[in-house]
Each structure stands twice: as C-alpha cells, then as structure tokens.
Structure 1
Amino acid sequence: MWKRHPRALPFLFFSEMWERFGFYLLLGIFTFYLKDATGGFGMDEKESASLYGTFIALIYFTPFLGGLLADRKMGYCNAIIIGGLLMGVGYCLMSVRSVPMLYLAMTLIIIGNGFFKPNISTLLGNVYSTPEYQDKKDEGYNIFYMGINLGAFICNFFGAALYTTIGWGAAFIAAGVGMFLGVIIFVIGMRHYKSFDTRKPLKQGDMSMSKIFGLVVLPALVFGAVGYLIKGADGAIFDSSSTDAFIFACVPVAVFFIALLLRSPKEERRPMAALLSIFAVVILFWAIFKQNGSALNTWASRYTERHVDGTTGTVLNALKLTETIPYKKDSVTLLDNQFRKIKENGTEVKGLDYPSYFKNMNLAETPLKEGDQVKAWAPSLSQSINPFWVIVLTPLLVAFFTWLRRKGKEPSTPSKIALGLLVSAMSVLVMIFAVKAGNNGAEKVSIWWLVGSYGIITIGELFLSPMGLSLVSKLSPVRITSLMMGGWFLAISIGNKLSGILSSKWDEYTNKESYFWLNFVLLFGAALFLFAILKWLNRVMKEKGVV
C-alpha cells in the first residue's frame, strides 16, 4: 500500500491515527464521566449534554485560527507538535477529578486541536504537491482517512476496558499516551516532510491576521463574555450560561460574513451567497450527527439490550469490556451504574426509571435472586459503530462515484450534499422505529437499531462532509478562501453546539418518538430547502466553470 506513495504518508497516517485514538476515546466516555456521581461530577442529562455541545463546538472553531497562524507565522510542523502536546496534557489532566482542572483540560484540548487538526491535513496535501505524486493525492487522502477511523474504532475498546476495571482516570491517561505516541511518530518522520513545511506570505487581497482578530475574534470573545454574564429570569437566557456565551459569540462572526457578502464585488457575490446558503443548512446535519456522543450514547446505555451471557459474555468479560448490573426483583435499575439528579417539587432526588435488563431475560431459564449480578457490554463501545461503517463504506462509495463519473452521470457537488441530508434524515426514522419496538422504553431494544441508524447516517456523512470542503475550494474567491473555509468550520461548530442543546432536552420528552421526530423534521427540512435551490446552486457552479 505504501510503496506507490511518499515516504511521509505512513508517519502522517499513524500520527493522525493515534491522535484520533485519544480524541475519540475522550468523546466516547465524556458524557458518561460527567454524569457519574461516584467517579465523575454527578451532572444530569441537561448539564452534561450542554457542556458536551459547547466543548465540541469550540473544538471545531479553533482549527480556523490554528490554520491561519500556521500558514503565516508558526509553520505546520511546529503547530502540529505544539497542538499534540497540548492535547496530550489536556487528556491526562482529565484524570484529575476537579471542576477547575476539568475546564483547564478542556481548554488545552480545544487549543491543541486547533493547532493539530487543520495543519496535519495541509502538510499531507503539500507532500502530494510534487509532479511525482500529484495524481495519487485523492488516494493518499483516502488512506489517511482510514487512519482517522481506525483510531476512532479501536479506542473505545481500550477506553471501556480501562474505565470498567481501573477507573475513568486510567482511560483519560490512555488517551494522553495515544496522543504522545502520535507526536513521537510525527517527530521521527520529520525528515520526510520538513521541506514541505512552507509558510504562505500575505498576498494582495488577503486579510491580515491583525484585521481578522480585530473584526472576528475579539468581538466574538467580547460578545461571548457578555452572553455568559447576562442572566435571564431562570438563570440562563437560552439553555445554560455556556450556551448563552456561544450564541452571543456567534453574532459578530455571522455579521462579519454577511458584511463580507454585501461588500464583495458583483462577480463574487453569487458564489459566496451559494456557500453561505450551504453553510446554513449543514448546521442541521451536524446538530443531528454529533448526538452520537450525547443522546445516542444515552440510548445505547439505557435503552439498548446490552446484557451478555454464554460464550459472548465470557469473551467480553475476559477482555474487561463489560460492566456489572445488580438484579432487583420487580424493579428497574439505573442502566449505566450512574446516578442522575432530577427535580421533583423543587427537591433533588436520585434515580430515574428506565427499562430494566431483566424484563428482556427469560428468568425461568436464568433464575436470579436479589443481589445477583448481570453482565452488560460497556455502552461506550457503541461509539465504534460509526468509524466501522466509514471504513467499510468509503471504498464502496468511491467506487460507485467513479463508475458514475465514467458514465457521465455523477451528481454535482451540491446534489451530493442535498442527497446526504436526505439520507441522514432516513437514519432518524430508524430510531423512531426503535422507540416503537421498545414501546417507548418499556423494553430494551436490539443493538441492531443503532447499527442500522449509524450505517445510514454514515452514508449521509460521506456524501456531505468531504463534498463541503470540496465546494469551499471550488466556489470561494481566491482572496478569501481561508476565511470561507473558516465559515465551513464555523457551521460545523454551531451544529455541534446545537447537538448539545437538542440532547439536553432528552429528559423533557416523555415520548422519545417525539424527540426523534424533531430531529427528522430538522434534517428533512434542510434537505428540502437545498433541493429547492439546487438548480440555482448548479447554475452558480457552471458560471464558475466547476462541477
């Protein structure tokens, strides 16, 4: 596999694989850790989902700034190493159970990701810029993308084994070790890509760093601080103080992009309007997709049949991938060994009824008495379903589009994004049927509902995510390509925060079917809007001479 590619590729592949190992290990257990009263912080569903949303929103905002700093000041290699070290330290600090330390760790991870994530991809592109390897660039990125998903797939098995046997701290330290391994591999391979670490000087029409900070970053920080400090009648204005801060911070950024559109030359206005339209609708895709670490984690933990016995139970137990559920006759139990806080008449009480494992078990064949233990696979393992589907489906979709291209029937880039939204909406219908199958939580349901839902939305992801980056490069005016790429990341960031807001409402929906119907309406509405303007988008693409 490596022979036909630059010698830099395996080093960048494994650096990214280990970085994603640490990152997705953290995300897979993050909300479980926040909700755990004995080893974590005892947050309820609303608090944990809101903080999760803010965290991943900021994680996807900082790559814009980190990319600009690397482009013009630091260089890619320095940014990658610094970013990796900051993330590794942040993961390790997560093991310290302290609120100030939690926020410090999150801050280091957010900043570190901003330096690491955009620049390792850019460096890979530079490596393939030589005539010898230019024609292999797409294949190189496909191999690199496999590294991302390989790390995301395997990390959850390590994380589950560690937090069920030793504790949360061990899992977070493992994430840090993975990140440090990625940095070490990157440094070892430096000789193969050091010559491609070139800075981009400011060109005519480019916006200077000081201007970007003055017009975008500083106003966002000021508005964010104001949003955090202003209090509504019930405390927060929208959902929580962190949500208020994020929404307020987005206001000057949105105003900046609108002003950029209105002040642009006439020939640039239609392509920019097309991009901003797509940015607006893909926010809703990320709002649903990124619930994998919050609402769908909750579904895996509390509503999915996870108890294991026989050979499967023996193997998973030997691998330390199970957790223990105590049997209580004629009662339901907390399914993830975590306490939740709910308010009843103004008083906080512990516990909430969820469907019991024991309703699904044949107690005539497997008699249990009070206090007996039942083994269940660790719910964070469900986070490996999406990367599994990415690994399986990516080659198939690449081959499918290659076949269509040869026949001259390949859809345009906007058409692929619209189809991605529509397919993603279908994945939510699977969860609606899952709620029906479990009689709205009266019984646990099969893991195959989650497998099916993740499989469908992964197809939507592969239609939409790479196509969005491609569209930005095709439609952006050359003078502001980096800024428009920042707009794409901003859309992802806003969508990630919205995912946390939606997930924080989980417990307010007695009928979970209604929760998933809301998600379906949001995605289906976004798809309909994009299909409605598809002819105009395709016309703009043709005017630019791209497809």
Structure 2
Amino acid sequence: MRNKHPRGLLFLFFTEMWERFGYYLIIGIFVLYMIDPAATGGMAFSDKYADDIFGTYIALTYLTPFLGGYLADRVLGYFKAIYLGGFLMGLGYIGLGIHDTTAFYVSMALIIVGNGFFKPSISTLVGNLYSTEEYKANKDAGYNIFYMGINIGAFICNIIAAFMRNQYGWSAAFITAGVGMFIGLIIFTLGRKHLQSANVMKPVQEGDISLARILGMVFLPAIICGAIGWMIPDNIFKSDSTDAFIFACIPIIIFYVRLYLKANHEDKRPLGALLAIFAVGMLFWAVFKQNGTALTRWANYYTDRQVTGSTEQALSSIYLVDKKDFQTKEVQKYDNQFQAEKDDAGEPIKVQGKDVYFTNISNEQRVELEKDPTQTVSLINTELFQSVNPGWIILLTPVVVGFFLFMRRMGKEPSTPSKIVLGLFISSLSCLVMVAAVYIGSNGAVKVSPLWLVGTYGVITIGELCLSPMGLSIVSKLSPPRLTALMMGGFFLSISIGNKLSGVLASMWYDYENKANFFLVNCLLLLFATLLGLSILKRLNAVMKEKGLN
C-alpha cells in the first residue's frame, strides 16, 4: 500500500475503524434497547416511538457535520476537530449506559455534536492525503480502503455487543462503545506525523462565508423553523420530532442552493453537480438505513433465530445466545400482536414481552416445544444480523475495487457518477429479495430462514460499494478547495435527511397489512432515484471531464 497509497491512510483506517466500532455498536442495539421491557433493563418504548427516535438520532448525527465541517475548515483545523468530536462521542456512548431517561437524551446529544466535528474532518483528511500527483489517481481506491475500515469496525462491534449485553447487561455494551472510541483517538495520535501534510486549513478568500453569517443566516433560522415545526398542532409528518427536523432542514437547504446560485463561473457547475448527487443519494439512505429499524424488526420477529446441536454449543462457548422460555399460555397471549401495532386510540398495540418470538414459529417447532413447555431455546442475538452488511463489505470490497481497476486497465472504467447510478439500481433489487421473503413466510405467519436477510444485505452491499465511497470521493474531487469540508457537510446533510426519512418509512411498517408492499415502496423509491440519476448523468460526466477527472 506504501507505493500506491500514502502511509497516513493506515492510521486513518484504524482510527475510523474504532470510531465506527462504537457508532455501529450503538446502532445495532439502539432500537432493541428502546423496545426492551423495563424489567430486563430496556426503555420499554413502543416500536413506532423507537423508530421515530432512531430516525431522528441518526439524522442529527449526519446533520451536525454541516457546522462541524465549517469550523474544522476555518477555526479548529482537522486535528482539533477530531479530538473534540471523538471525546464527546466517547462520553456519549458511556453515558447511554446510565439507565435514566435524562441521561439517555443528554448522551444522544453528546454523540450528535461529537459526530459533527469528527466525521467530516477525518473524511477530508483522507481526501487531502491524495491531493498530490503521486496519489491522485488512486483516490477512489483509497476511499474504498478507508470504507473497508469503517465496516471492519461495524462487523466486530455487534459480536462484542452481543457478548457484553448477554453477560453483563445493556450498560456494559454501551460502555464498550465508548472504550472503542477512545482507542481510535489513541491510534490517531500515534499517526499524527504521517497526517500533518493533510491538516491544512483553507486560507480565507474573497467571497468566503463568515462564521457569524453561517450562524445568523443558517443555524438561527434552522432553530426557529425547528421550533415552529415542533409546536405545530396535528403533526404534518406523523410526529413532532419529524416535523421539527424537516422544518429545521429548510434554511440549510436554502443555504446550499444560494451557495450554488451565487457561485462564480468556475465553481458553479461543480457545485451544481454535487447538489444533484446529494439529492439522489438521499433516497438511497432513506432505504439503506432501515437496517436499524425495519430489517432489525424483521430479524427480531420474522426470522428463525434458533440454533441447535453443534452450532448451539459453539455459540454458547462465546456466549452469543439468548435463552428464552417457551410457554404455551404466553404464546396465546402474544399471538399475532406484533403484526398490527396501533396508536393510542384504544386499538391493540404490540405487547412487550420476551415470548413474542414464539408467536409465528412453524407447526413442527410448536409441536416439538409443546412436548416440554419449560424447556429453553437458544436464539442468536438480533443485533448479530447488523454484522451481515459490514461482513459483506469486507468480503466484496476487494472484488469491487479489483473489478474497477481491471476496467480502468481496459480503458472502460465507469465514471464516478456512473458508479453512483449503478449503485442505486443494484440497491433497488435488494428490496425485491425481501418481497420474496414476505411471500415465503406467508406475510409473517411463519418465520423464514436467516439466509433471506443475508441475501438482501449481500445485494444492497454491492450497491452501497458503488455509491457510498464514490460519494465521499466525488465531494473531495469536485469541491472548491476552500469549501471542501463545508461540502462534505452537505454530503452528510443529504445522508441526514435520508436517515430521517428512513425512520419515517419504518414507522409506517404497521400501516401495511401486506408487508411485501412495504418493501415494494422502497424498491420504487430507489428506481425513481436511479431514473433521476440517469437523467442528469450526461451533465455530471461533462463536469467531471471539465475538471480533468473520471
């Protein structure tokens, strides 16, 4: 890697790996923790409320990079921003281990603010390492390698999370996330000398936007609009938090549009191309980020998680099983309740309880268990399915990178925008895998094989590898140098809006009597994004060519 990639990439790789270890450990257990009964240490929230909080949380973690990226560009520098952001996130992760409602929300706030400083800064450092002619041609591959580091952390974290919560409880799992964050900061410190050349603050230039103007024209209006959205009676987007978030985004979106409209001739076309990519990418994240909500629910309620024989023994040796009692009376109590959670109008809502797992087992399993209703059944932890996607990324990243390198040697490598559009289309196919799973399971009446989730994640991972690393790369390639981190913040803003939409979409799960229609809607959203991308592809490629890029 030394000849083709700068040495500093290795340290950014491991720093991000451990930071994402903590972040995705939280993501993997967050909804499960919120819906877990208070008796077993959870928050006892309803599924719909948990989806809403989850969507707002992951949305805000990608909204704050807008300001954090600007401050890193102009005030703090990337090193200070990474230290500040990492420290706040580490405290937030540990704080979630305190079983208290106030501590829960304060800790989320610390993580949200911390991520705003950390995320755009480390991504910008990666791009800056490839600013010289020696490494410039390998920027896409560098971001793919960096992206693999993210997913190694995301893969191992859920295994550790399952171990910690099974053996020591929810609090221990959250504290483990904090430890991972601080390990990442230590590794970053060890590699500072190899990153010094990339820690270059952009000089102030004519036409730059001052911090006071950013706060006065963007964030103050965003806060005011958010407050208005929160206080509006009769929710427009189904919840106060969603209304507040959508309203708060309006001034920020207007800011980026004005940035484009007032740009000089040299910057205008690249900025326009970036805004178009942000728009189509937003729809991808609206579907993809349902891995923490809808697909976690599918794993929890609709997937056969029972392990027996040698598999049970192997997993028991590392404590990755969850023991649950099977009681016929409990099965009758919870029968089909999870299929139709309702609102507060007096209609049935899903009953919280550990035995809800057994409501839709096969007749063969039910007959076997009823022979001895007091026997224990070993179930793999739901959060382990969150490791499937990063596991696929680890396996497929060398394949995808190698394929595009081969295409480059043949002179037929797709342009970066073309890769993004291809990723959108491939991702849409993953929703069709889930449609098939719904029909195989008779719309949730019978649990299905975990291989359906594995297959779904496999397909969307190919799409993700075409889209997400390319998104980071294209922001670094097209952004005017003085606005790199700010536009990186815009990229994360598009993810933020997509993340919130994912929570909104997931909260509609119980509105669909036929769950296949839920996944078909997601498929159509991605196909629409694909068509939108195709409609602007020619212009995007022209802009890339103008900049001397592929």
TM-score by length of 1: 0.91
SS state at 1:376 partner: strand
Which residue, out of 493, 496, 505, partners 1:493?
496
Q: Count how many residue pairs are aligned between Structure 1 and Structure 2.
A: 543
The answer as to 2:380 corresponding to 1:380 is: no
Which residue, out of 426, 449, 455, partners 1:452?
455
Deviation at 1:6, TM superposition (A): 5.4
Q: Which whole-Å CA distance do the structure 1 matches of 2:491 and 2:12 have between them?
A: 24
The answer as to 2:429 corresponding to 1:430 is: no
Paired residues of 2:202 and 2:482 also in contact (CA < 8 A):
no
Kindly tell me: are residues 355 and 523 of structure 1, through their superposed partners in 2, closer, same or farther at Cα, counting changes over 3 Å?
A: farther
The one-letter amino acid paired with 2:156 is I
Kindly tell me: are residues 263 and 362 of structure 1, through their superposed partners in 2, closer, same or farther at Cα, counting changes over 3 Å?
A: closer
Deviation at 1:223, TM superposition (A): 1.0
Paired residues of 1:355 and 1:443 also in contact (CA < 8 A):
no
Deviation string for 1:146-182 (max 9, x for gaps)?
Answer: 3211111001011011112321111001111111222
Q: Which whole-Å CA distance do the structure 2 matches of 1:306 and 1:451 have between them?
A: 13
Q: Which residue of 2 aligns with 1:520?
A: 523
Q: Which whole-Å CA distance do the structure 1 matches of 2:9 and 2:131 have between them?
A: 13
Q: Which whole-Å CA distance do the structure 2 matches of 1:532 and 1:446 have between them?
A: 39
Deviation string for 1:291-311 (max 9, x for gaps)?
Answer: 011110111111011001000
Q: Which whole-Å CA distance do the structure 1 matches of 2:121 and 2:334 have between them?
A: 43
SS state at 1:533 partner: helix
The one-letter amino acid paired with 2:295 is L
Deviation at 1:134, TM superposition (A): 6.2
Paired residues of 2:260 and 2:271 also in contact (CA < 8 A):
yes
Kindly tell me: are residues 81 and 480 of structure 1, through their superposed partners in 2, closer, same or farther at Cα, counting changes over 3 Å?
A: closer
Kindly tell me: are residues 4 and 432 of structure 1, through their superposed partners in 2, closer, same or farther at Cα, counting changes over 3 Å?
A: closer
The answer as to 2:252 corresponding to 1:253 is: yes
Q: Which whole-Å CA distance do the structure 2 matches of 1:417 and 1:137 have between them?
A: 16
Question: For residues 349-498 of structure 1, what are the structure 2 equivalents within 5 Å?
Answer: 351=351, 356=359, 358-359=361-362, 361-362=364-365, 368-477=371-480, 480-498=483-501
User: Which 10-residue stretch deviates more, 513-522 or 76-85?
Assistant: 76-85
Kindly tell me: are residues 104 and 77 of structure 1, through their superposed partners in 2, closer, same or farther at Cα, counting changes over 3 Å?
A: same
Structure 2 residues not aligned, in runs of 5+? none
Q: Which whole-Å CA distance do the structure 2 matches of 1:133 and 1:238 have between them?
A: 46
The one-letter amino acid paired with 1:454 is Y
Structure 1 residues not aligned, in runs of 5+? none
Kindly tell me: are residues 361 and 164 of structure 1, through their superposed partners in 2, closer, same or farther at Cα, counting changes over 3 Å?
A: farther
Q: Which residue of 2 aligns with 1:63?
A: 65
The one-letter amino acid paired with 1:62 is T
Q: Which whole-Å CA distance do the structure 2 matches of 1:409 and 1:341 have between them?
A: 51
The one-letter amino acid paired with 1:533 is I
Paired residues of 1:8 and 1:193 also in contact (CA < 8 A):
yes
Deviation string for 1:346-372 (max 9, x for gaps)?
Answer: 267652877646426456777632222
The one-letter amino acid paired with 1:215 is M
The answer as to 2:55 corresponding to 1:50 is: no
Paired residues of 1:43 and 1:341 also in contact (CA < 8 A):
no
Percent sequence identity over aligned pairs: 54
SS state at 2:124 partner: helix
Q: Which residue of 1 aligns with 2:328?
A: 329
Q: Which whole-Å CA distance do the structure 1 matches of 2:344 and 2:98 have between them?
A: 32
Q: Which residue of 1 aligns with 2:346?
A: 346
The one-letter amino acid paired with 1:280 is A
Q: Which whole-Å CA distance do the structure 1 matches of 2:131 and 2:481 have between them?
A: 18
Deviation at 1:323, TM superposition (A): 1.0
Q: Which residue of 2 aligns with 1:294?
A: 293
Q: Which whole-Å CA distance do the structure 1 matches of 2:6 and 2:311 have between them?
A: 42
SS state at 1:323 partner: strand
TM-score by length of 2: 0.91
Bigger fraction of residues in helix:
2
SS state at 1:375 partner: strand
The one-letter amino acid paired with 2:62 is Y
The one-letter amino acid paired with 1:410 is E
Q: Which residue of 2 aligns with 1:277?
A: 276
Paired residues of 1:332 and 1:354 also in contact (CA < 8 A):
no
Q: Which whole-Å CA distance do the structure 1 matches of 2:155 and 2:275 have between them?
A: 33
Q: Which residue of 1 aligns with 2:17?
A: 17
Q: Which residue of 2 aligns with 1:108?
A: 110
Q: Which residue of 1 aligns with 2:101?
A: 99
Paired residues of 2:270 and 2:478 also in contact (CA < 8 A):
yes
Cα RMSD after superposing both structures: 2.9
Deviation at 1:250, TM superposition (A): 1.1
The answer as to 2:532 corresponding to 1:533 is: no
Deviation at 1:281, TM superposition (A): 1.8
Paired residues of 1:2 and 1:10 also in contact (CA < 8 A):
no
SS state at 2:413 partner: coil
